[in-house]
Amino acid sequence: MRKASPKTTAPARAADPALQSLFDVHEATLPNGLQVRLLANHLAPVVSLYTFFNVGSRNERPGITGISHLFEHMMFNGAKKYGPKMFDKTLESNGGSSNAYTSHDMTVYYDDFASDALETVLDLESDRMRSLRISQEMLTSEREVVKEERSVRMDNDIGGMMGEELDSLVYKAHAYRWPVIGWLADIEAITREDCQAFFRTYYAPNNAMLYIAGDIDPKKTLALVRRYYGDIPRGPAPLPVINAEPEQRGERRATVRHPAQSPAVMIGYRGPPARDEDTLALDVAQYVLTKGEGSRLTRSMVYEQKVVVGVGLDWGWRIDPGTVLFFLELKPGADPQKAEASLYTELEKLARDGITDRELQKALNNLRSDHLRELGTNNGRAHAMGNYEALLGDWRHVLTLPSAYAAVTSEQVKAAVAKYLLPERRSVVTLLPAPSAES
Amino acid sequence: MASRKKSRTPKSSPRRAAKKPAARATKAAPRKSASRKAAPVTSSASRALVFPTLHESTTSSGLRVVAAERGPLPMVSMRLVIRAGSATDLAGKHGIADFAGRLLRRGTRRLSAEAIDEAVEFVGASLGVGVGEDTLSVAITTPAEHFAQMLGIMGQLVKEPSFPESEVLDARERALAQFANDLDEPSVIADRALVQALWGNHPYGHDVSGSAKTVATFTRDDVVRFHHERMGPKVAMLVVVGAVDPKRVAAAAEEAFAGWTGGPDAPLVIPPLAKVAKAGKVIVVDKPDQTQSQVRMGGPGYRTGHEDYFPSTAMNVALGGGFTSRLMNEVRVNRGLTYGIGCWFDAMNAAGIFALSTFTKTESTREIIDVSLAEIAKMRDSGIKPGELRDAQAYMGGLYPLRTETNESIASSIADIRLNGLGDDWVMNFRDRLRAVTPKQVAAVAKKYCFAEPPAIVVLGKADAVKKQLRGLGPISVVQASEYE
């Protein structure tokens, strides 16, 4: 498994001057392997704390798909010192709130809180990392909650249904082929023992990174972190994740029939891993194609040709090769083939002629603006540091990303599009409206 | 991704969908996400908040301008708020405010739609038009060095939009397609049904975007008339927050908005809500393909700036706001009936409502309604324990400073304060006023708002299966989902 190993991939680019002064980060590694990053900001009496665990659906196997996400829920259901219901109760009554999410690659927890609650939050967080209690009763009840979540996100949501179908087309061998929330039968089958084994391996401090940003004194905070987390034992090394994905040899297609108002199309291309240089070039391509009303696809497909009512593109960075995903939203009765053809024409044009200097500059301006905006809050700063460290191996990418983008050339963008967005590399899911069961 | 609450990242599902399920939000121009502002939350940390000094000026055209200088990021957020929300839609033209708002950027006397997009988007700025019940807002966030140019464009959008005929026709087509596609979004349709059930014929009683029926009648003349009659400097305010000198803001605003005329001299008066339209009644919205029911319930609340605000907000945290709320505990944690449940007060300028939102598998529809109603009744009858109130106060007080973190959130607070007469000390004294709430005050508001009269109930799902479960809750009427297109 490609774990974040800071320093090995320290970015060579220069730090953005507007950011350098904001990121006076204190770093430490505890003897048990826990990585700690602390960032002071005294603008408001609040703090955000993020814990990143290097585990997601990527680390699962058939039979227990969805365990990373189900487990994320279980982390709120009681540990040795703070029992059932006490995590949220203690946190909220001290002026804090928390949430978490699970992705293909990582599981991420955060707390936003009044700065005088810092020690309480460290007590709460270290308690559950050290000694989570997984009771059968809690597991049974939480499983029902997750089933409702799956139902609302996947079974009663068109985007969810189509995405689930697409992932299993784009990936044949890699764990990215199943939904993060897991298959229903697997969610029902996960046992308490599965959860305990999962906890011992993936929630050990040597598999975790802690980020604290806000109204803190870094020195005192580090002493507190050592006191609360220092005695948590290391865990066994997680099993490596093998990427056995074979080369794709031609277009793949699937159809979803559902009583919907309009057809829709979702198209995915397997891209590079996040650490690949091409990732940045594809970010630029994404901005040229769909960022803003004046972007190529919005202007051409929505406003000029009127073949879709909406077009979206999501290029999500992942540890292993992720998906460049297009979503075409149509109007009732519209022709999905026509919409698809229009998209492919634009992609061919991009692969053939590349982008203009002005388009490149516009994309860079927007990438920088969005990056700065993301860093406007403590929560955004802590999350960004963790996200880049988890995906790229170093939080410093927060500082250098704008200059890394600035080094991307039009040639690279053209080459990346020509390399990844090829007809024989695509997977297509078409939603066709079907009459409702009862009508 | 997957997660415990509602996710910020589309690909992950968060652990819980706690936050109030987007009720009637200020609508962003592309009619998609309807993100409500987060409930005001506050602190046990007693350190004073940092809130920038406000500098005021008025342009020669009569537009009030409020500027606040704030670093450290080299960005500026500006927000032009006009009292021309959906409550001011022209007669028979529900949705025209939202429709006109979206067309502002599709061409002005001097700039084509493409030129506007290019000017804004090239420099890395972003432009959004949002319409809510009370206001139409044009917001731009921009790198600081381009602030004056962006303000100039904002001025053109409201002063001299050209509303090209072809753009009006295309926008109408897209809006109608969107209404059709919305029928595939169970929570959107359920929210829409609740709005109608609560407000009936009140100016707040229709979806901000109108309906397929009204939008189909929109012409360029309607849009021009709305712009001329409803949008003008006397009912607007410009708020600019970020890395820019307030003196420069005043000068740039003068240049950008000079000569802006039109609109009323004073905001239109919206009446209070006389009675909840479908109080005590059950509306079943039939969508036979669903395996879950979306459930909504609501009754009267209060308008912005009402004295009940602080005790009601504290009560709401304990009842259905936070993650340890009574509803979350009984419905999700103890019974596993849902992934998300919440209740909230929606306070608008003239009136407000109190509502609950959740969902569950079809078979549990009645159970989730009964458990929820029982919790609300318990609050109404017995109020809140002192410890529970202290926890709610600490929770909201601790988190309130988060609302002072970004230029956007500060600009939006300033606009709220001024438009609703909340007083300039609102942000600085929020936590003190919250801390002063007593259990007795909470008991009084609970009696008043926790469904003292039976609520209006909306269930969207498989009508065949849920109808028989709902007996005894009030007269039931079944409507097709397509009624809400």
For residue range A77-88, list pLDDT tens digits in order: 999 999 999 999
The share of chain A scoring above pLDDT 90, in percent, equals 90
pLDDT recorded at residue B6: 36
Contact call for residues A381 and A437 (beta carbons, < 8 A): no
| Residues sharing a CB contact under 8 Å with residue A216, sequence separation 6 or more, in sequence order | A38, A40, A47, A115, A118
- Residue-level pLDDT at A436: 57
A202, two tokens: 């993936």
The pLDDT, as a whole number, for residue A14 is 85
CATH fold of A252-433: Cytochrome Bc1 Complex; Chain A, domain 1 (3.30.830)
Whole-model pTM: value is 0.90
Alpha-carbon gap, residue A113 to B189, rounded angstroms: 35
Q: Which of 135-154 (B) contact A at CB < 8 A?
A: 141-143
The pLDDT tens digits for A350-375 are: 999 999 999 999 999 999 999 999 99
CB-based burial of residue B417 (10 Å sphere; 0-12 exposed, 13-18 middle, 19+ buried)? buried
**DSSP reduced 3-state for A32:** coil
State yes or no: pLDDT of A7 exceeds 70.
no
Task: Give the pLDDT score at A153.
Answer: 86
In B269-406, alpha helices (H) = 309-316, 326-327, 365-382, 386-399
Average pLDDT, chain B: 90
CB of B333 within 8 Å of any CB in chain A?
yes
Position B85 pLDDT exceeds 50? yes
Burial of A26 (0-12, 13-18, 19+ CB in 10 A): middle
- Please give the pLDDT value at position B48: 82
Output the pLDDT for position A155. 83
Q: Which residue has the tokens 């992932």?
A: A167
| Shortest Cα–Cα distance, B230 to chain A (Å) | 26
Comparing alpha-carbon positions, the chain B residue that sits nearest to A370 is B124
- A12 confidence band (pLDDT: 50, 70, 90): low
Residue B56's beta-bridge partner residues? B66
Q: Class for domain A21-229, per CATH? A: alpha beta
Q: What is the pLDDT of residues B227-268, one digit of tens each?
A: 999 999 999 999 999 999 999 999 999 999 999 999 999 999
- Given pLDDT bands bounded at 50, 70 and 90, which one contains residue B38? very low
Beta strands in A263-315 (DSSP E): 264-270, 310-315
When computed from its CA atoms, the radius of gyration of chain B, rounded to whole angstroms, is 23
What distances in angstroms separate CA B338 from CA A88, A192, A256, B334, B361, one per listed residue?
18, 22, 27, 10, 8
Q: Is B468 exposed, middle or buried (0-12, 13-18, 19+ CB in 10 A)?
A: exposed
Please identify which residue in the block is written with the tokens 């001011």: B88
What residues does CATH 3.30.830.10 cover in chain A?
Answer: 21-229, 252-433
Q: Check residue A111 and give its pLDDT.
A: 97
- Could you give the C-alpha distances from A400 to A12, A371, B73, in angstroms and in order? 8, 11, 16
Render pLDDT for A323-343 as a digit per residue (tens, 0 to 9).
999 999 999 999 999 999 999
Length of chain B: 485
Query: Order of strands across the sheet with A46-53?
Result: A25-29, A35-40, A208-214, A46-53, A107-114, A96-102, B13-16, B4-5
Q: What is the mean pLDDT of residues A309-326?
A: 96
pLDDT at residue A142 in the model = 92
CA–CA separation, A268 and B244 (whole Å)? 43
Mutate to test the interface with B, among A16, A102, A118, A335 (most CBs of B within 10 A): A102
Among A169-173, A273-277, A426-430, B1-5, where is mean pLDDT lowest?
B1-5
pLDDT of B26 reads 31
3-state secondary structure of B5: strand
User: What is the torsion angle, in degrees rounded to the nearest 10, for the CA atoms of residue B464, residue B468, residue B473 and residue B474?
Assistant: 70
Locate A380 and state its tokens: 């955004």
CB of B484 closer than 8 Å to CB of B458:
no
Asked if A306 lies within 8 A of B290 by C-beta distance, the reply is no
Chain B positions touching A367 (Cβ under 8 A) are 124
Q: CA–CA distance from A37 to each of A40, A42, A51, B68 (Å)?
A: 10, 17, 10, 32
Encoded tokens for B458: 């909306």
Tell how strand A264-270 and strand A426-433 pair up: antiparallel
Tell me the mean pLDDT in the region B282-301: 96
Please give the domain boundaries of chain B with CATH numbers for all domains: 55-257 (3.30.830.10), 282-484 (3.30.830.10)
Interface check B109 vs A, CB under 8 A: no
A97 contacts in chain B (CB < 8 Å): 41, 322-323, 395, 399
ipTM: 0.89
Beta bridge partners of A252: A427
Residue B258 contacts A where some CB pair is shorter than 8 Å: no
CA–CA distance, A129 with A124 (Å, rounded to integer): 9
Contact A180 B125 (CB under 8 A): no
Each residue's pLDDT tens digit, A200-239: 999 999 999 999 999 999 999 999 999 999 999 999 999 9
**Of A424, A299, A289, A291, nearest to A369 (Cα)?**
A291
- Is residue B21 scored above 90 in pLDDT? no
Q: What is the mean pLDDT of residues A293-304?
A: 96
Q: At residue A321, does pLDDT exceed 80? A: yes
- Report the distance separating Cα B284 and Cα A61, nearest Å: 42
Reported as a single tens digit per residue, the pLDDT across B397-448 is 999 999 999 999 999 999 999 999 999 999 999 999 999 999 999 999 999 9
**Quick one: closest CA in B to A260, which residue?**
B184
E strand residue ranges, A240-359: 252-258, 264-270, 310-315, 323-329
Contact partners, residue B191, CB within 8 Å, separation at least 6: B21, B22, B23, B24, B296, B357
What is the model's pLDDT at position B56? 97
Q: Which residues contact B422 (CB under 8 A, 6 or more apart)?
A: B304, B305, B416
* pLDDT tens column, B172-195: 999 999 999 999 999 999 999 999
Q: Contact A46/B174, CB-based, under 8 Å? A: no
Q: Is A168 helix (H, G, I), strand (E, B) or coil?
A: helix
Contact A331 B124 (CB under 8 A): no
Alpha-carbon distance A160 to B2, whole Å?
Answer: 11
- Give me the amino acid identity at B259: G
pLDDT, residue B36, reads 29
The torsion angles phi and psi of B226, rounded to 5 degrees, stand at: -60, -45
Question: In this model, does residue A8 exceed pLDDT 80?
Answer: no
Minimum distance, in Å, between the CA of residue A36 and any CA atom of chain B: 23
**Is B124's CB within 8 Å of A98's CB?**
no
Query: Which residues, 6 or more positions from B327, have their beta carbon under 8 angstroms from its beta carbon?
Result: B319, B320, B341, B342, B343, B356, B358, B372, B375
Give me the DSSP letters along B391-454.
HHHHHHHHHGGGGGSSHHHHHHHHHHHHHTT--TTHHHHHHHHHHT--HHHHHHHHHHHS-SSP
Please answer whether residues A424 and A251 qualify as being in contact, where contact means their C-beta atoms are separated by less than 8 angstroms: yes
Ranges A280-289, B97-106, B320-329: which has the least confidence: B320-329
pLDDT of residue B39: 34
Q: Is the pLDDT of residue B24 over 80?
A: no
CB B105 within 8 A of CB B129: yes
Give B123-173 pLDDT, tens digit per residue.
999 999 999 999 999 999 999 999 999 999 999 999 999 999 999 999 999
Confidence tier at B42 by pLDDT (50, 70, 90):
very low
Judging contacts by C-beta atoms under 8 Å, the chain A residues touching residue B294 are none
pLDDT category of residue A11 using cuts at 50, 70 and 90: low
Residue B12: pLDDT band (50, 70, 90) is: very low
Average of per-residue pLDDT values in chain A = 94
Does B179 reach chain A within 8 Å, measured CB to CB?
A: no
Best CA proximity match to B30, nearest among B138, B157, B175, B132: B175
Q: Could you give the CA distance from residue B125 to residue B142 in angstroms, rounded to a whole number?
A: 4
Coil vs helix vs strand at B218: coil
Query: pLDDT by residue (tens digit) across A153-171?
Result: 888 889 999 999 999 999 9
Instruction: Taking each helix axis as running N to C, give the angle between helix A192-202 and helix A67-74, from 0 to 180 degrees, rounded to the nearest 10.
Output: 90
pLDDT band (50, 70, 90) for residue B3: low
Place of tokens 């945290």: B317
Strand-strand pairing, B476-480 and B282-286: parallel
**Is B265 near chain A, with CB under 8 Å?**
no
